[in-house]
Structure 1
Amino acid sequence: MTLLRVAVDAPLWDALDYLHAEPLPPGSLVRAPLGRQTVCGVVLGPAQGDSATAASALRPLEGVFDALPPLGSDWLDLLRFAAGYYQRPLGELMAAALPTWLRERGAAAVAKRVADWRQRQAGTAFRLTPAGREQMPRTLSSRHAALWRLAGALGLHPARPADSSSAMDQGAPPRLSVQAARALHPKAAAQLRAWEMQGWVERVPEPCRAAEQPGAPARPPVLQAAQQAAVEAVRAARGYAPFLLFGVTGSGKTEVYLHLAQHALARNPQAQVLVLTPEINLTPQLVQRFAARFPDAMLAVLHSGLAEAERFDHWLAAHSGRARIVLGTRLAALASLPNLALIVVDEEHDASYKQQEGARYSARDLAVWRARQRDIPVVLGSATPSLESWRAAQRGRYRLLELPARASGSMPEVRLLHAGQDPLLRAGGLIGQALHEAIAARLARGEQSLLFLNRRGYAPVIRCPDCGWLSDCPHCDAHLVYHRTDRSLRCHHCGHRAAIPRACPECGSLDLQPLGRGTQRAEEALAELFPQARIARIDADTARRKGAAQSGFAQMHAGEVDILVGTQMITKGHDFQRVTLVAALNPDAGLFTHDLRAPERLFAQLMQAAGRAGRADAAEGGTAPAMLVQTAYPEHMLYRALVAHDYPGFAAQELIERRRAGMPPFSFQALLRAEHKKPEVLEAFLAQAAELAAQPAREAGLMVYPPVPASLARLAGMHRQHILVEGPNRSMLQDFLTIWHSALVQAKARVRWAIDVDPTEF
């Protein structure tokens, strides 16, 4: 019997020892008994020395996933680093990295799924036929947004169904694998088979066999000089090379990514490219562009919106090396990629790359570490880089590549509308006079407008004007938001729902009033002002149903929407060709908050929103693109930088203030987050934690701040506080955290706690 060290899928700080009949290589996936359960585990190696428990006390493994190749040593090193740096159990990181379907199944079920997957890979690609190109546009309704996404990936576009310059006339149309198609349509396999029976598509050899079955990729556009220089700089890199691609919105960063991926795949027939994107909603359009450019390369998509079995299939394609291109959100940063040759992090500044629950890792930072580990290039792209990345470029740690001009279209003029001087806004309206006139002008010309309001619901709170009662959440220190669609009050933090009271619970008054404005109220106001306009809303409420957000975006692209209102979901990455007006409704809340990153995030949101306008060359007589910002503080430095499209100027001022305050990126931070139902128990634990931190912090030259309530001091009935630790040196902070963490574990407190390294929320 062999003694093996195994990291198990459980919140345990140490790996466990097990028995097995024969040695297993590190990285082998196994089923291991744990108490009365059987859990997934990863073999770390043989149990040696003091870690090896007496054989008589060990339990044998219950199964080995023989159908799966072992996870690579580089993947194990990645998880060991992440577990150590972020002070999390190795098993917890493993659980975040592996598909849930795999972790919950036995070896026999996994073997069957793997065999089925391999069988499905043979002959599962489809290609549009001439009959399909001719007949499908006559059959598909413009309302079938999901079907049009699928047809678009096959090379069919509603705007030019018979265009003689299409891919059909230039050569063979794109091949679309079922695996890539499922990322675009929830029932892609059945739909493709139905089209096949109608003669609209035909089966062709599976597209991952690039050497045997060359395809006809979409013809790439000619690069501008700045794009070409960026591509050449990355191509010339040898080994680890971090690049910051700083390009204005619409400057063609995605086209640079496509050229770099093409070079990486051409240089090595086994190479894999990892492309990270911050939002699930941005994944389908990236899939479509990469599928059109690389019809002979298998694509894998990894994000939490996939069905569990489907995510396992995509993970398997990446882990087996068959997927040449892997697109995904932050969890894709932990994917097993044995032949990784290039990493791209799009919108690298986005806060979504930082996990806020469980294993609180930063996908962007792990991507950079992984590139160094694999000795490969990594490209971080953004129009508004994070201040950490911008300073790294200034100091020479990253090489700065700039795209200063748009690939097409023109940058919008940004105008600040003083809310205090607008009669409609002063009267309590949501749409000011100047914005009303601007929208009307776009409607008259058949152009589109986009309105950004980063608050969903109808109103942030219901208020009684007689006694001052507010609709507060009974479980959180937050208000219940009024949702007019179903006439409910909802907490956007814990999910609590309640009916709107008929009268004030405090004084009985019947005159309850909504206070503040959300996207539902904006949609209602627009409908009253422009009854002839086609208005759509996209926010977390409308996007609850799978595919709903993509359907809304497809309608916007197809010109079926005149005015789109929504939260930050509508401001990122979407290439709206008909939008000439963008408006920000009351974004001032981001100017005045304790969050040191709030101005940085607000500036990025507004720059991203502005970038949705003017992305196409204006037609003759068309309206010049513009962004209107309704604000009570038009002289604020942030807005003046926005008017000038001056990110470097904004960043320089923010860095001056950060340096003066000793804040990141000029210092390094960690938070001890703790919560408990009883505030006295929580305070006692934090007092003990502060005492345990005092001496090692003094020795390391670190500052430990007194415990303070979190921004949301009570969430779902749990009282929440934290202790901030700050210092000028990352390695010293890490050494301290290792000592402090060990002491906290030994304290065996009854409080739920976790250490958050490099926190972005407080």
Structure 2
Amino acid sequence: MIYHHLALNVPLYCLFTYVHDAVLVPGTRVCVPFRNKLVVGVVWAAAVTPDIDVAKIQPIQQVFDAEPRLPESWLALLDFTARYYHYPLGQAALAALPQGLRQTRAVRLPEPVRHYTLSILGRQHAPPPIRHAKQVALWQVLSKGTADMAALKAIYVQAAKYIQIWQDAGWITVQTEAAYRASPIDGHVLNPEQQAASQAVQAALPEFVPFLLYGITGSGKTEVYFDIMDKVLAQGRQVLFLLPEINLTPQLLKRLSQRFAQTTTAVLHSQMAAGARTQNYLRAALGQAALVVGTRLAVFTPMPHLGLIVVDEEHDASFKQDSELRYQARDLAVWRARQAKCPIVLGSATPSLESWHKARMGDYTLLTLTQRAHAAAQLPQVHLVDTRRLPLDQGFTEVVKEKLQANYASGGMSMVYLNRRGFAPALFCSACGHVFGCPHCAAKMVLHQRAHQLRCHHCDYRMPVPSVCPECGNQDLTAVGQGTQRLEETLRHWLPGARVARVDRDSTSHKQDWAQLYEHIARNEIDVLVGTQMLAKGHDFARLNLVVVVNADGSLFSADFRASERLFAELMQVAGRAGRADLPGEVWVQTQQPENKVYQALKAQDYTRFADAELAERRDMAMPPFAHMAAVRADARTMQAAQQLLRTVMAASVQQHGLPEHVNQFGPVPMLMARLAGYERAQVFLESRSRRDLHRAVSWWQTALLAEAKSHPHIRWLIDVDPMEL
């Protein structure tokens, strides 16, 4: 009998020993009994010496040996992830798998994608008669290169019937390997800056070199990615393309399908059906998919021939998981590129200060694009509107209102940006001042007028809009502030006949909402876009020439040291949506702090100026990236209980181990969102210039927490390394 160590999806920091009658290869998926039920496990080590009574060791019930095993590189990646983020290995490993592989049954393996092209005999044969237009269209596609059945059916629904007929006649050649060849570029030529950036990355193939591609908005970073990808795919290697948001996928996939029509592509994101996501994951793992496009979880996808990683909008906070396993996909992508010995390209118009600092220090190779890719396109002109002495009409100054009306009258397209969904951010009583807050969170309820609801945007608690104040009975309840729904209503009133579309989490909750929005914009069926930060990233709307930013000042007063960086990136990105084609662009920003460094750098559109000034402040304060941070958090029914657990554990950790010389501890203190979903939240910060010393201190905390938390079963705790939330 052979003993094996298995990773199971349980919150324990250990592997589990099971027995089997043969040696199983690490990475094999199995099914085992655990606490009176069957669960999925992954073999982590084989032929081990058990350290418990062998009579207590249970047998492995089922081995899914027909499935591709998870490779050693995947096991190493998850082992590093669990150690770095101080998370149970089994939970990390199973979280990295798609749903189909977390279930206690075998999965259906994907059929190899077949690619069809004309054979030598077919090229010598006459095409179908011209009267059969659909057949002629199929023949033309096959004569130019290869295509899979999905692409052929998009041309003619009966494609399978005719492909079979032509194949039986010997006119068709079938390939089952993943197709890597790019389609013709249709005359697109990179400008000198783009060409230099692409060639620099290509020169690094096939070695690990991290590149930071800093290019102004509209500079054609995507075309640089594509040019490099073309080279890598042609070598028979795979490409991993990471995006921060699902809503960026439709537009990118359309461009990919045009440029890499003959390349098998696997898409991975959370809105996909579980079965489709599992099949795409397996296609990548089997080498059937040459290109993998996905959001942060796709960083864990096994790819046996990985030759390039691209992280687009690398600055985006969405790459950091904010629950359970709190990993940073951008950083893991860099680790994975080093593991695979391949280049990685991190791209952004507003790089994260961590990446910018590494480029300044020479750890990353900096590539720069300083001009817009479209020959006629120029950076938009940015105007700051000081609202301290100007009256506001429904949140707009008169000059901005007139700009919107004039742009609509002249046939332009406008975007109004406000990072606050709903109708109004608060509802209060004008008689006694009562504000309707969430009963479960330290947050105000947001008015959603069309649904006639108050909603908490943190825990999603909902209630009907009250008719009277619960404090004094007053019926005069006032909506305070602006939300995207209120702006939409105002613009429909001011611009009668204008086609106004609101874009926020409420309006784009369904799978096809983004695809439909792009179709409307492509057909020039939208005059004004109103939305949140979902509109700020990566979108390219040629007709958009006016951007208005409403009420961005709130971020300037945040206690989060990253608030200025986030606001600047947000505004630079949204401003960059304007003037990307022939029409000159304008950006109007309403603010009560026009002299603030964020707005001054925005007006100058000078990222370098902002980043270097911000880094100087971070250096003086010993804040990231000049120091490293971790947060230890506790959630309890009372703040006193949460803080007391942290104090007890802090004392136990210091008493047993002391504190590394270069590590500082702060707290416990309440989090900025002190109450969330019925729990009071407290935290302790650990900071150090030494990453090694920081992780040693976190490990001591973890040991003390595991010992102490047993006597506090109702208090939740977690460790967040490199936290983004304060």
* TM-score for the superposition, normalised by structure 1: 0.88
- Counterparts of 1:367-406 in structure 2, within 5 Å, are 367-406=333-372
1:511 maps to 2:476: yes
CA contact (8 A) 1:342 1:376 kept: yes
Q: Provide the rounded CA distance (Å) in 1 between the counterparts of 2:559 and 2:163.
A: 58
Q: Provide the rounded CA distance (Å) in 2 between the counterparts of 1:648 and 1:57.
A: 62
Q: Could you tell me which residue of structure 2 aligns to residue 118 of structure 1?
A: 111
- Counterparts of 1:205-216 in structure 2, within 5 Å, are 209=177, 216=183
Match of 2:700 among 736, 739, 753: 739
Q: Could you tell me which residue of structure 2 aligns to residue 142 of structure 1?
A: none
Q: Provide the rounded CA distance (Å) in 2 between the counterparts of 1:10 and 1:577.
A: 50
Q: 1:298 to 1:456 in 2, by over 3 A?
A: same
Q: Provide the rounded CA distance (Å) in 2 between the counterparts of 1:133 and 1:653.
A: 66
Q: Could you tell me which residue of structure 1 aligns to residue 569 of structure 2?
A: 604
- Counterparts of 1:197-346 in structure 2, within 5 Å, are 209=177, 216-219=183-186, 221-238=188-205, 239-267=207-235, 269=236, 271-346=237-312
CA contact (8 A) 2:214 2:368 kept: yes
CA shift, 1:583, in A, is 1.0
Structure 2 residues without counterparts, runs of 5 or longer: 119-127
1:27 maps to 2:36: no
CA contact (8 A) 2:468 2:476 kept: yes
Q: Could you tell me which residue of structure 2 aligns to residue 141 of structure 1?
A: none
CA shift, 1:70, in A, is 1.1
Q: 1:595 to 1:317 in 2, by over 3 A?
A: same
Q: Deviations over 1:514-536 (max 9, x none)?
A: 01110000000101110121100
Match of 2:637 among 674, 677, 692: 677
Q: Could you tell me which residue of structure 2 aligns to residue 184 of structure 1?
A: none
CA contact (8 A) 1:693 1:704 kept: no
Q: Could you tell me which residue of structure 1 aligns to residue 55 of structure 2?
A: 56
* TM-score for the superposition, normalised by structure 2: 0.92
Q: Deviations over 1:491-526 (max 9, x none)?
A: 111111101111111100010010111000000010
1:719 maps to 2:680: yes
CA contact (8 A) 2:659 2:697 kept: no
CA shift, 1:739, in A, is 2.4
CA shift, 1:336, in A, is 1.1
Q: Could you tell me which residue of structure 1 aligns to residue 77 of structure 2?
A: 78
1:654 maps to 2:653: no
CA contact (8 A) 2:191 2:373 kept: yes
CA shift, 1:282, in A, is 0.7
Q: Could you tell me which residue of structure 1 aligns to residue 386 of structure 2?
A: 418
Q: Deviations over 1:711-733 (max 9, x none)?
A: 11111111111100001111111
CA contact (8 A) 2:7 2:44 kept: yes
SS of aligned partner of 2:55? helix
Q: Provide the rounded CA distance (Å) in 2 between the counterparts of 1:29 and 1:346.
A: 32
SS of aligned partner of 2:466? coil
Q: Provide the rounded CA distance (Å) in 1 between the counterparts of 2:11 and 2:416.
A: 44
Q: Which amino acid aligns with 1:11?
A: P
CA shift, 1:398, in A, is 0.4
Q: Which amino acid aligns with 2:231?
A: H
Q: Could you tell me which residue of structure 1 aligns to residue 435 of structure 2?
A: 470
Q: Provide the rounded CA distance (Å) in 2 between the counterparts of 1:594 and 1:207.
A: 58
Using the aligned pairs only, state the percent identity.
43
Q: Which amino acid aligns with 1:221?
A: H
Q: 1:444 to 1:45 in 2, by over 3 A?
A: same
- Counterparts of 1:479-558 in structure 2, within 5 Å, are 479-558=444-523
Q: 1:636 to 1:205 in 2, by over 3 A?
A: farther
Q: 1:467 to 1:133 in 2, by over 3 A?
A: farther
CA contact (8 A) 1:132 1:199 kept: no
Q: Which amino acid aligns with 2:42?
A: V
Q: 1:197 to 1:205 in 2, by over 3 A?
A: closer
Q: Provide the rounded CA distance (Å) in 1 between the counterparts of 2:670 and 2:507.
A: 33
- Counterparts of 1:629-644 in structure 2, within 5 Å, are 629-644=589-604
Q: Provide the rounded CA distance (Å) in 2 between the counterparts of 1:681 and 1:441.
A: 58
CA contact (8 A) 1:6 1:45 kept: yes
SS of aligned partner of 1:332? helix
Q: Deviations over 1:161-191 (max 9, x none)?
A: xxxxxx979974884664xx8xxxxxx98x8
Structure 1 stretches of at least 4 aligned residues deviating more than 2 Å after TM superposition? 51-55, 121-126, 129-135, 167-178, 191-211, 213-220, 420-423, 678-681, 692-701, 746-750
Structure 1 residues without counterparts, runs of 5 or longer: 136-154, 157-166, 182-187, 619-623
SS of aligned partner of 2:561? coil
Q: Which amino acid aligns with 1:581?
A: L
Q: 1:744 to 1:543 in 2, by over 3 A?
A: same
After alignment, is 349-358 or 413-422 more displaced? 413-422
Q: 1:287 to 1:229 in 2, by over 3 A?
A: same
Q: 1:262 to 1:93 in 2, by over 3 A?
A: same
Q: Provide the rounded CA distance (Å) in 1 between the counterparts of 2:218 and 2:163.
A: 34
Q: 1:415 to 1:199 in 2, by over 3 A?
A: farther
Q: Which amino acid aligns with 1:720?
A: R
Aligned residue pairs total: 704
Q: Could you tell me which residue of structure 2 aligns to residue 152 of structure 1?
A: none
SS of aligned partner of 2:545? strand
- Counterparts of 1:122-201 in structure 2, within 5 Å, are 122=114, 172=144, 175=147, 178=150, 194=157
SS of aligned partner of 1:685? helix
CA shift, 1:688, in A, is 1.0
Q: Which amino acid aligns with 1:257?
A: Y
CA shift, 1:133, in A, is 13
